[in-house]
A and B are shown apart, each in its own frame.
Chain A
Amino acid sequence: MKVELKKFGEILTSRPAGREAGLAIKAYFKPEPGDRIELDFSGVLAVGPSWLDEVLTVLRSEYGKERVICLPSENASVSESLRIIEKQSDTP
């Protein structure tokens, strides 16, 4: 199941907005058992790690890390935000 993040805004930076987005996705997108949630950044201008961290925290606590996927993006703010979040989550 693909989630078009551009529908949540062109600029996605704050934690409160990220938490709201995560809760909205959880409420309105209902993947079939075993289906993945694919976050699509097409059309998004900028993402910050705070916003993305909140979204992933909400969704991964509900569906597990393996079922919540960030689709590849050429936007550097997406890749750099993901990198620092994954690095932090890998730190014991």
Chain B
Amino acid sequence: MIEIKGSAPFTQYALAGVPDLEAASRWMNARTAPKSPESLVCETRDIFTARLPHLKSFVGNGLSENILPLVISTTGEIGNNSFDHNLGQWRDVSGCWFESQVTGRHLWICIADRGQGIFQSLVKVHPHLADEQAALHAAFETVISGRMPEQRGNGLKFVRKIVTTTPGGGIACVSGTGRVFYGEQGERCATLLGQYFSEVKGTATLMIWRLP
């Protein structure tokens, strides 16, 4: 089965499957960022924001119009986090890998960045966090932000709530040596991520939504 990725003028035709996690991992973990397909890497928040409406096209592939707003808002939270928490802290190039596709009655969304990682973002203002694993749990399960004293820190809790209360939903996130997963298909996402992102610099997230 052939699937279409991206949009004109950067349309790519690929064999069906989950997002190209190997390519995302290569881009994320390279010592210096390699040249990447412009259709998959959003160098600025504006580019990421401009590509969010592309998710609407999956309604034609079976994504429910009732779920679409939740898919867009959770994807927006995760992608915007890359820019919110790495401003002035990128390892080299700014931006995030943003890939989405429908395969086998599932919508897959992968977002990864070459940023400082969640632990480094949080530990500066929350020095009690023991390690990368604790930081990831705190990020998804408590109201916490690396941008104190700004009143932030509810975005990833929102994402976890939506994914865990949506039948067939799942999310996994790796940052440094930390790894968390939530939702009915969270472990499946974690297994896939684990094949390519065992110890990463930056943060990588994989979400899955079951289509009716």
Do the beta carbons of A53 and B154 come within 8 Å of each other?
A: yes
Residues in B whose Cβ lies below 8 Å from that of A49: 73, 77, 154-155, 158
Question: Is chain B's interface secondary structure helix, strand, loop, or mixed overall?
Answer: helix
B68 at the interface (CB under 8 A from A): yes
**17 further contact pairs, Cβ within 8 A, besides A15-B80, A15-B84, A48-B73:** A10-B53, A13-B73, A13-B76, A45-B56, A45-B68, A45-B72, A47-B69, A47-B73, A49-B158, A50-B77, A53-B151, A57-B151, A76-B69, A80-B73, A84-B154, A84-B161, A88-B143
What CA separation (Å) do A11 and B73 show in the bound complex? 8
Residues in B whose Cβ lies below 8 Å from that of A14: 45, 49, 76, 80, 83
B66 at the interface (CB under 8 A from A): yes
Say yes or no: A77-B157 contact (C-beta < 8 A), given A13-B77, A14-B76, A14-B80: no
Categorize the interface residue count of chain B: 20 to 34
Do the beta carbons of A11 and B154 come within 8 Å of each other?
A: no
Number of interface residues of A (CB under 8 A): 25
- Most chain A C-beta atoms within 10 Å of own C-beta, residue among B45, B49, B69, B161: B69
